[in-house]
Structure 1
């Protein structure tokens, strides 16, 4: 099966996050976000370029969680897509775009935090393939099968 990928966006929350609701009653998170840019120089150093600012939105449960967890200044990594749109300002049609975050979290390269695993979803363990569980059990028990299994190439290798 192919790896599923989407656009990603990294930056920092530049405004106070806002939570509102759409006409359908769905939660909508909005924040103005900044993205720093750098140019690598021939000598290996980096030159800081102008920071750009963009609109970031999220909907439904992601919006509610983002509003609870993010504050102005936080660094983030988001997965989603760029949504172009048009609006009118002073009688003129203006082109705009926003990043729609389907998933968003703090950038752990720039954020210190602790993980609370007390609410961990147990579905993953229940759906685990029996062969993978047996393989791990063999390693734990120092079973000779471990050598045969580790020598066999995995799918796609």
Structure 2
């Protein structure tokens, strides 16, 4: 089986994230993002160039999670695809593009953070806590007891 890949994008959140709703009622995230650029010099050093700026959108659950977790200035990595479309401004029709993020997270190379796994652990224990005590495994009984259930 081949490895499934998609386009990726990294950069920083350049504007305050905006929440809108699609015609079908789904959550939509819109944000301007910046991408830093560098030029390698002959001596091996790098010169920072001006960043480029682009549009990023996400939909449904990805949009909701990103709206809760990102703010202006955050570094990110996203997976998705580029969508091109035409737009009319002042009577001129031009092509525009946006990156549609299907997955997005903080860039671990540029962000310090702690991972909170309590929701995941609680969700995993949820089924065990609801099961009849005689149907729980020994590990599940210990975990449920530790949680006071």
1:82 and 2:82 matched: yes
Match of 2:10 in 1: 10
Cα distance in structure 2, aligned partners of 1:87 and 1:48:
32
Match of 1:65?
65
Aligned-residue offset at 1:119: 2.4
**Structure 1 residue runs without a partner (length 5+):** 123-157
How much has 1:106 moved relative to structure 2? 0.4
Compute the displacement of 1:2 (Å).
Answer: 1.1
Q: Which runs of 5+ in 2 are unaligned?
A: 125-149
**1:59, 1:102 → 2: CA distance?**
8
Deviations 1:15-74 (A, max 9, x none): 000011001111100000100001222321111122100000000000000001000000
In the alignment, which residue of structure 2 is the partner of 1:31?
A: 31
TM-score, normalising length: structure 2: 0.79
Number of the residue aligned with 2:101: 101
Q: Secondary structure at the match of 2:50?
A: coil
Distance 1:94 1:50 in 2: 24
1:6 and 1:20 mapped to 2: Cα distance?
A: 25
Aligned length: 122
Q: For 1:85 and 1:117, how far apart are their aligned partners in 2? A: 39
Query: Hey, what does 1:112 align to over in structure 2?
Result: 112
Q: Distance in 1 between matches of 2:41 and 2:79?
A: 29
Moved over 3 A (4+): none
How far apart in 2 are the matches of 1:55 and 1:3? 28
Distance 2:48 2:38 in 1: 5
1:46 matched residue in structure 2: 46
TM-score by length of 1: 0.75
